[in-house]
Amino acid sequence: MHIDDGTGQGYKAKVTSDNRLRTHSVLESEVAYESEGNGNAYIWTASKDIDTTDNIIWLRNDSVTSNLHIQCITVSSDASGSWFIYCPTGTTADGDTITGVNLLRSSSNVAEATCRSDATGATPANYIYYGHGVADTDVPVDFHGALILGYLDEVAVDITDEPGLAQATVCGFFREAS
């Protein structure tokens, strides 16, 4: 026995002899779904010798139609010390430009975001995470897409002790704002 798809496209599903439809499910993260389905997942990475007054990484959503969902932020440095993630507002950041890398490698979509490393100009406010790391150890902070940046919203990572080298990676995906 076959079940028609109901759209008139001619697709059919086969059922078993006892009239049961066998299915399977795939559990997929939101970032993987947006990457594969829409080419809207990106990663921004900074690796710099920064001063204590500079951000390791600063990121702003420039899309007027889509929210930027932050999946994960990973921080490390070559020195043990404290760092924090915060959400400044109204920043005119300078520093080195970081271009978001599309995780769907065959996509030509470009991230509608501005990102800088070794940035100054962001005023620490709206702290959302304090962390401490051992030298040369990556510390991931998984937001599971729940940290959402609307139009012109920002997120930044700053370190309290000046390391020789600090790194930060932000992974996120765009989804149309409702």
pLDDT value for 2: 65
Domains in the chain: how many in total?
1
Give domain status of residue 18, yes or no. no
| 53 C-beta neighbours (distance < 10 Å), count | 8
Give domain status of residue 165, yes or no. yes
pLDDT value for 1: 60
Give domain status of residue 47, yes or no. yes
User: Can you spell out the DSSP letters for the chain?
Assistant: -EEE-SSSS--EEEB-TTS-B--------HHHHHHHHHS-EEEEEEEE---TTSEEEEEEE--SSEEEEEEEEEEEESS-EEEEEE---S----SEE-PPEESSTT------EEEEEEE--PPP-SEEEEEEE-TT--EEEEEEEEEEE-TT-EEEEEESS--S-EEEEEEEEEEE--
Vertex 153 angle, CA 149 and 159, to 5°: 95
- DSSP-derived letter for residue 106 is T
The answer to whether the beta carbons of residues 98 and 43 sit under 8 Å apart is: no
| CATH number of 54's domain | 2.60.120
Q: What is the pLDDT along the chain (178 residues), one digit of tens a residue?
A: 666 766 777 777 788 888 888 787 888 888 998 999 899 999 999 998 887 778 899 999 999 999 999 999 999 999 998 999 999 999 988 899 999 999 999 999 999 999 999 888 888 899 999 999 899 999 999 999 999 999 999 999 998 877 889 999 999 999 999 8
Give domain status of residue 21, yes or no. no
Give domain status of residue 110, yes or no. yes
| 66 C-beta neighbours (distance < 10 Å), count | 19
Give domain status of residue 116, yes or no. yes
| Domain span holding position 51 | 29-176
Give domain status of residue 121, yes or no. yes
**Distance between the two ends of the chain, CA-based, in angstroms?**
41
Tokens of 119: 């940035």
Give domain status of residue 171, yes or no. yes
